[in-house]
Each structure stands twice: as structure tokens, then as C-alpha cells.
Amino acid sequence: MSRESISQSISIVHPINLSHGKNAEVWDTTGKRYIDFVGGIGVLNLGHCHPGVVEAIREQATRLTHYAFNAAPHAPYIELMDRVCAFIPVDYAVSGMLTNSGAEAAENALKIVRGATGRTAVIAFDGAFHGRTLATLNLNGKVAPYKQKVGVLPGPVYHLPYPSADNDVTCAEALKAMDRLFSVEIDINDVACFIIEPVQGEGGFLALDIEFAQALRRLCDAKNILLIADEIQSGFGRTGQRFAFSRLGIEPDLILLGKSIAGGVPLGAVVGRKALLDNLPKGGLGGTYSGNPIACAAALATLDAMTDEHLQTWGSQQEAAIVRRYAAWREQQLSPYLGRLTGVGAMRGIELAHADGTPAPQQLNQLLSLARDAGLLLMPSGKSRHIIRLLAPLTTEPAVLEQGLDILEDCLKQLA
């Protein structure tokens, strides 16, 4: 099957052609079966072709396939926004808008922030990933490959170290860097917002330091700066809770949603304090496909499945299996390249590093190939592309999860 018609600027991790999937398993066009620890890069928390989502899509497709909500409202959009706002675990009144993707949610959040504050400066974090549009590129805390050859990006945007026990950056170090930023680079009174991932995805599944998160919230409150939590990858149960910010003991002002919001159908959202979402003039927000009826129906079915009980059970079971196997590998000294286990809940990364702690991206590339040949799909992450992201569906059958971890174990042994 030729790929000549596809832009060569799209990077492909696994050079296979997929045909179909079911929960945590996929098959390529040759009939080979793989256990999927990629999950569409965090899109498929409910797995491939979840029966409830499939039925909702099928039923909605017989009723209304599309209408632009800003032209004429439709019931699936209204019902979904009611459900999503009720699903957000905060104490304030919530409203929001639907988008086509997480990056589009981030773009709209920047518009909302500018309208509410009259300021333009944004502070993001090293290792961050918020999208591939021009504005979100500048938020990303990594140049290659995202910012290369695209010239001047919308701003102003400044970056701070991301403090986490997973990367050895302390709260004190991050706060010191912040003090320097406000002393040397920008007046704090010109800052519109901070944008931060409670658990970094592309950055290597790094869990945000709780002390720093709470200090950041206090600073934002004192200086009338807005706090945006990007939950595009960490949300909808990935960490065992509805959203990862809950473990931090804070409430963001705006929350970015996407990926697993609709079981694989393109959809995103920006939600938050109602006064913020209402501050732009009529027509300031919207979009032709945003909140497509079929995507809304898929999202409603997704929310039906994501009860707190289910999320806690799925998350704790998957976390326990990963932590148990990783601890055994460390005890066995399975591989000289086996580094730390990062992340929280079922959002876990496995670092590959040399004995001196330096990243081992060459071994990660070897691992990707070995695992794929053995029937396991993995996804890289981290500044040096040296951390494996474990993004198996939360609904993965325990036996399938163990089989995937068995393959990973065998492949780790073979690294050279």
C-alpha cells in the first residue's frame, strides 16, 4: 500500500497498516495481532470499538450527522455540555464550549484568557506539549521537531522548569526560576495565565509536584493570573480519577479536554469558570464542526461508562500490575537500561537510561522494534525520546495486560 500521497513531514512510529481493533488489541492488514499499549496516544481509555460508543455512533448517524451549533443548536451538544460540566470536580459554576481537538481547545483558551485579563503573556513549562497549531507550538517546551523551520510564533510565551519527583526538578528550583523570570524577563502584572499539565504526556509522564501546584495557585490568586490545566491526555480516568488536577489539591480556572473524551471520535473542549467563558462577544467562540452530533453522542456514551467506581477500579488494577512488574524487573536487574518508573495511576512511563543516568534513546528505538515484532505496540516520550508511555486502555482485560507486560519484559532483556 503506497504512502506517496501522504506528506513525508508526518512522522510514523510503527510502519504497519492497521485494519481493525477490539478493546486493547489491534490487527494489521496482514492479519498480525498486536497488544496496544499506545491507545491512539491516550485517546482510547475505553479501548477500540467500545460497544456502548459504537452503538451511540450508529444510532446518532441515523438521526443527524451534522449541524453547526452556532447556526442552529442541537440536542446532543446541549446534553453533552451539561454532562461534561457536571463531570468536572470543582466547586464553582462551570460552562464551556466544544472543539474539534485538544489543540483547538488550547487556542480558544488563549482567546478566553486575553478577553478576560486584557493581557497577552503566557507562562508554560519545559517539556510541555499542547498541540501543533502555531500558538500551541510556542507553548510547547521542546523545539525539535515542533518549532523547527516555522519562524516567529505567536506570543509572548515564557517557559519555566517543570518540577516533578520524576525529573529531579524540585519545587524550590522551579520557584527560584520563577523569581528570576519576574525579575529579568517580564513584569508579573503583564502575565495573563500559566498553562500546565498535571501530568506531562509528551514530556515523559512526569507528575507535577504538589507543593509547587499549590504555590502556583496562590500566586495566581494574588496576582489575578489565570491557571489553565491541560488535561487532554491525563483526563478522563487516565490516572484513576476523573482528572489529574484533583490529586494536586487545586482548582484550575480553565481546563482543556480532548483525546479520551469521545472514545476515538474527534472532539475536545475548554471548560471552566462561567464568567470567563462568557466574557468574549457573541461570535467570539464557535466553529463549524465543533460539537458535531456524532462526536457528542460518542462522548455521552463514554461518560456513561466512566463512573467513579469504574475509573478507580480500572486505574488501581492497571497501576498495581505495572508497579508490581516494574518492581520485579528492578529486583531481577532485568536490563542495565531499565531506569525509573514515572507518572501516577495508570499513566506510567518507563525510562531507559545508561548506568550514569543519561538517556538511552537508541535502546528505546530498539525496544520499539523488538516489541512490535513480538506483537506489542509502544509509544515513546520524553525530552530525549527515551521514556516509554504505557497507554493501554483502562478496560484492558487483566490477562491481555499481563501478556503485554510479558512481551515488554522479554524485549527489555534483549536490549544491547
Q: What is the pTM of this model?
A: 0.96
> How confident is the model at residue 331, as a pLDDT?
97
CA–CA distance, 116 with 59 (Å, rounded to integer): 40
> Lowest-pLDDT range, 3-7, 237-241, 385-389?
3-7
Q: What is the dihedral of CA 369, 372, 376, 380, to 10 degrees?
A: 40
Taking the domain 308-413, which CATH number applies? 3.90.1150.10
CA–CA distance, 109 with 269 (Å, rounded to integer): 9
Q: For the chain, give every residue range classified as CATH 3.40.640.10.
A: 53-305
> How confident is the model at residue 154, as a pLDDT?
83
Long-range contacts of 168-177 (CB under 8 A, 24+ apart): 169/209, 170/209, 171/209, 171/211, 171/212, 171/215, 174/209, 174/212, 175/212, 175/215
- Residue 47 pLDDT greater than 80, yes or no: yes
CA–CA distance, 141 with 131 (Å, rounded to integer): 11
CA–CA distance, 251 with 308 (Å, rounded to integer): 19
∠ Cα 68 257 405 (to 5°):
130
Question: Residue 97 belongs to what H/E stretch?
Answer: strand 94-99
The answer to whether residues 256 and 270 touch, using CB atoms and an 8 Å cutoff, is: yes
Give the mean model confidence (pLDDT) for residues 146-174.
93
The answer to whether residues 117 and 193 touch, using CB atoms and an 8 Å cutoff, is: yes
CA–CA distance, 318 with 394 (Å, rounded to integer): 7
Q: Looking at domain 53-305, which CATH architecture does it have?
A: 3-Layer(aba) Sandwich (3.40)
Q: Residue 211: helix, strand or coil by DSSP?
A: helix
- pLDDT band of residue 211 (cuts 50, 70, 90) is very high
Take residue 193 and report the three cell numbers written for it: 495565565
Q: For the chain, give every residue range classified as CATH 3.90.1150.10.
A: 308-413
Give the mean model confidence (pLDDT) for residues 274-289.
95
> How confident is the model at residue 142, as a pLDDT?
86
* Tally of residues, the chain: 416
- Mean pLDDT across the chain: 96
> How confident is the model at residue 155, as a pLDDT?
87
- Residue 146 pLDDT greater than 90, yes or no: no
Quick: pLDDT tens for 215-235: 999 999 999 999 999 999 999
- Residue 244 pLDDT greater than 90, yes or no: yes
- pLDDT band of residue 2 (cuts 50, 70, 90) is low
